[in-house]
Amino acid sequence: MKKSKLLYEGKAKKIWQTDNDNLYIAEFKDDLTAFDAQKRSQAQGKGALNCKISANLFRLLEKNGIKTHFVECISENEMVIKKADMIMIEVVVRNIATGSLTKRLGIADGTVLPFALVEFYYKNDALHDPLINDEHALILELVDNESELEELKRLGREINVVLKSFFDKANLNLVDFKVEFGKDSEGNIILADEISPDSCRFWDKTSGEKLDKDLFRHDLGDVKVAYEEVLNRIQKVIQ
């Protein structure tokens, strides 16, 4: 498979057209950004780590009946993905309060939530990805109807159940994560984008140590060492 035209360059990935009309290539970059890209850096090898972590998690989710855009890895930092029309909603699922939730609602950092909280954010950099409710999503025509919103919530919760119990075996608390979805050529809603320590929070269950992008956001430690640790733990659980 050959990359042809660059279709889109985001903060962490490039999406390439290929010689197959139904497939794209996602190239994972070493760039690190936070706070709407006001803070920027690079970590050599981060793209490859996120590509491998995402591939493993997409395979795990597929095994558990969740459709994803993942096809196969073709290099250290490139994967073939199915073409999908992206839904411009970031679906955030939270098990433990931290980050913007504690700031917005004053819930103490580290509070275990009584149930998994699903939130929608409007994927729009110019507006800084604001939190939206179901009615905002319908008015903005981000989805076709209410049942699609229900499906996004159901998928978010199902993904959470699979990933939470998987990471539990890796002695990691899945604190929260963000996922994005698209529609495939048949109109099915499939999981797209990536699932990596850039888009999830992981806390070691014993020490509470953070093993995700919060290390970069708040200058708490070496991102690459932490992401390598996450990949190693994933590989151990999969074996």
Selection from ligand ASP, ligand TMP, none that 99 binds (CB < 5 to 8 A by kind) is: ligand TMP
Selection from ligand TMP, ligand ASP, none that 35 binds (CB < 5 to 8 A by kind) is: ligand ASP
Question: Residue 5 CB, nearest distance to ligand TMP (Å)?
Answer: 26
Residues numbered 14-43 forming contacts with ligand ASP, rule: CB under 6 A? 33-37
Question: Residue 180 CB, nearest distance to ligand ASP (Å)?
Answer: 12
**84/75 Cα distance (integer angstroms):** 21
Selection from ligand ASP, ligand TMP, none that 160 binds (CB < 5 to 8 A by kind) is: none
Selection from ligand ASP, ligand TMP, none that 171 binds (CB < 5 to 8 A by kind) is: none
Binding site for ligand TMP (CB under 6 A): 92, 99-101, 129, 176-178, 199-201
Indicate the residue among 33 and 95 with the shorter CB distance to ligand ASP.
33
Residues numbered 170-229 forming contacts with ligand ASP, rule: CB under 6 A? 213, 217
Mind spelling out the 3-state secondary structure of the chain? Answer: CCEEEEEEECCCEEEEEECCCCEEEEEECCEEEECCCCEEEECCCHHHHHHHHHHHHHHHHHHCCCCECEEEEEECCEEEEECCEECCEEEEEEEECCCHHHHHHCCCCCCEEEEEEEEEEECCHHHCCCEECHHHHHHCCCCCCHHHHHHHHHHHHHHHHHHHHHHHHCCEEEEEEEEEEEECCCCCEEEECCCCCCCEEEEECCCCCECCCHHHHCCCCCHHHHHHHHHHHHHHHHC
Question: Residue 165 CB, nearest distance to ligand ASP (Å)?
Answer: 25
203 beta partners: 173, 210
Indicate the residue among 178 and 233 with the shorter CB distance to ligand TMP.
178
Question: Residue 177 CB, nearest distance to ligand TMP (Å)?
Answer: 5
Amino acid, res. 203: W
Tell me the residue nearest to ligand ASP as measured from the CB: 33
- Residues binding ligand ASP: what is the number (CB under 6 A)? 8
Question: Residue 38 CB, nearest distance to ligand ASP (Å)?
Answer: 7
Query: b/e map of 34-66 (b: 16 or more CB within 10 Å)?
Result: beeeeeeeebeebbbbbbbbbbbbbebbeeeee
Residue 123 found at the interface with ligand ASP (CB under 6 A): no
Indicate the residue among 32 and 80 with the shorter CB distance to ligand ASP.
32
Question: Residue 50 CB, nearest distance to ligand ASP (Å)?
Answer: 12
Contact positions vs ligand ASP (CB under 6 A): 11, 33-37, 213, 217
